[in-house]
Amino acid sequence: MPNVEKLSAAQLGIRPPGMDELRQVWREAMEDKGPGVPVKEVLNRLERKYRALAKSGK
Domain map (residue ranges) of the chain: 4-56
Report the share of the chain in percent with pLDDT over 90: 53
Average pLDDT over residues 30-54: 94
Mean pLDDT of the chain: 85
Confidence of residue 2 (pLDDT cuts 50, 70, 90): low
How would you classify residue 56: left for phi > 0, otherwise alpha for psi between -120 and 50, otherwise beta?
alpha
Give me the pLDDT at residue 4, please. 58
CA distances from 37 to 43, 44, 47, 49 (A): 10, 12, 15, 17
